[in-house]
Amino acid sequence: MPTKDEVALVDDRALTIQDYYMIRSKLQTPSSDHALWVGISMLALQNKTRFDGKEISIQAAFDIARYAIRDLPPSYAAASLREYYKQTPSLPEPEEVKKEMEALSQKSIVRRNPVPLSQFN
């Protein structure tokens, strides 16, 4: 279970309250739901790439999650998308990325802490 200082655990990696607020502060349209979705998605993506032996940076995971919810324009997300997708001829559409991120999150063990989450809404 997450501790009192954690919003969620994603495969035993913590999304802390501090991380949550940092994510929320950097979103173009800050919302509790988007901040939580981005935090969980970026940890799930990092876990997948770590498992595959080619972990991407936290900044790339953050950019990719923001791109998936259309919070970051393609021009700003391009380098991060290429870090993950490698040599693709064109960048994937945000909807495609969002589907993939949601699938990764569903495959992960995500434990949410209801106490801080209830305070954010």
Would you list the domain boundaries of the chain? 6-115
The C-alpha atoms of residue 56 and residue 63 are separated, in whole angstroms, by: 11
pTM of the model: 0.88
Kindly tell me the sign of the dihedral angle through the C-alpha atoms of 5, 53, 94, 108: negative
**pLDDT tens column, 11-37:** 988 998 899 999 999 999 888 889 999
Helix, coil or strand: residue 91: coil
Q: For residue 38, is pLDDT > 90? A: yes
The C-alpha atoms of residue 17 and residue 6 are separated, in whole angstroms, by: 5
Q: In the numeric block, which tokens belong to residue 68? A: 């998936």
Going by pLDDT thresholds of 50, 70 and 90, the confidence category of residue 119 is: low
**pLDDT tens column, 69-108:** 999 999 999 999 999 988 777 889 999 999 999 999 999 8
